[in-house]
Structure 1
Amino acid sequence: MTVTAPPELNTVRDWLRYAVSRMRAADVAFGQGFVDAYDEAAYLVLHTLHLPLDRLEPFLDAHLSGAECRAIAQVLDRRVTDREPAAYITGEAWLGPLRFKVDSRVIIPRSHIFELMQDGFEPWLDDMAEGPGHVLDLCTGSACLAIAAAHYFPEAQVDAVDLSAGALEVAALNVADHGLADRVELLHGDLFAPLKGRRYGLILSNPPYVTDDAMAALPDEFQREPAMALAAGADGMDIVRRIVADARTHLNPGGLLLVEVGHNQAETEQALPDLPLVWLDTPSASAPVFLLRAEDLG
């Protein structure tokens, strides 16, 4: 369908203002890479115009061609009217400086574990003088955490597991794009099932943890993501329980397990009452990730 661009919008500044206004008026949902209308509007406008994503100011008063205006109008219609997430429109998402290909086969990368990784998980890995050695990323999706681990721990080998064959197809594209085929191995299977005999210094997981009630209330944008990457039963702990139950078999002595559970601290503590969970804060959230040592798992 052809989308008509308002004729009075001529510059990047005009379109940025218009995009913010449309998003706010339509009450679109954020949280899939962007936290507000301005940042997401700037990204969509710059990406559509093939301009540098970190240099808005020099282009604000540039006059746009009719074709450029129509292209932005079409993107905004997909975002506002169709409620398509920005990352699926552009085919990319970012964690810090790392770019990943994405489409509707994978959840859009966003992770509190990544925030912690930028400091090398200090002080928790301080006892590993040579790093974690072998890292596992469970429920890898686009392989964003696996690839990030390979970047932040350059001596590590990384395994990445997902149950979705479609997600692993996207993950393979990202592993190739980052030149990590020799260090990141993708495995298809249900959690630890394809990992018999393998052990790790560090296991990471951003698993499904959305409760049934929360799934029913998700905004349209989040309903576009694969349900299997989000839904985790009545209390959101279906996958977390299984990860914790089997992790000890795959951790080296002194190894660490880090699991992201978002706002589900209370549900996690209720589901795992006998474990000494260590809750980790990030710059953007309070206690979205818990840590367990191998020895804590019995």
Structure 2
Amino acid sequence: MAERTLAEDGGASDGIDTFAFPVESSICGVGMQVGPMGTGPGWHGGAPLERVHRIDFHVVMFFTDGPVRHMVDFAEYEATAGDVLWIRPGQVHRFTTTGEYRGTVLAMQPGFLPRATVEATGLYRYDLPPLLRPGPAQLDALRAALAQLRGEYEDTTTLPLSLHTAVLRHSLSAFLLRLAYLAASSAEGARQRSDTTFTLFRDAVEKGFATNHSVSAYAEGLGYSRRTLVRAVRAATGDTPKAFIDKRVVLEAKRLLAHTDLPIGRVGVAVGFPDAANFSKFFHQHTDTTPAAFRAELR
């Protein structure tokens, strides 16, 4: 795939750098790219293999070989032939330097597809795991849809640009609808989608975790009893509501420690701990390391 450039995230006041999607590197300048993974640096856009980084676009890696270990939001996933890894905008990730990436990689710029298609394909379902394992029939259908998409992307001679782009959007939508169905029909995804109580809680935590760590406060705000909330969250995730909140706080702390030079005390404030000592104690309890040691390990 075409080489990308590292640009500062213009909307970020915390200094987080991100790899931006380079429209100018795409064939005909469209808002997507699709091509082979391989040993050269081009397919991953020059991103540092050994360092965590962030992207502002979607990446879907379709593996034809493996195993390959890949970190997404500080969780390790092992992908092999037939697996699909879906990384969404804003997620941090890191390539492995010990495995060989083989297969096809798709990159898509937010805004390339219409809003209705974005909603239908669940492009921002951050609650779903990034690693997908399609069954034989699903795998064949995904391969066919991806091959069709790649063929349309590389065919720049049979249609004028406006029609070429329109056909690409339709082919991309067909592929993503299949992929989204696979993600949503997994056991975990199905449980989370069907449980309205958990979905409302998850969304509330996403909006309020930086200032609100209280299970009772979330329950009251959503109009549920604490017992109802505990049952719903445990059924969807296997965790208690408190553990779910804490995991989200830890993830955000890790992101800030990895991607910014904010003092550790300010990282703590950003995730709801005005006292630096309390933040360090909390972080150590959940990671078995200190914030300073975690940051040093990544740099």
* TM-score, with length taken from structure 2: 0.30
Bigger proportion of residues as helix: 2
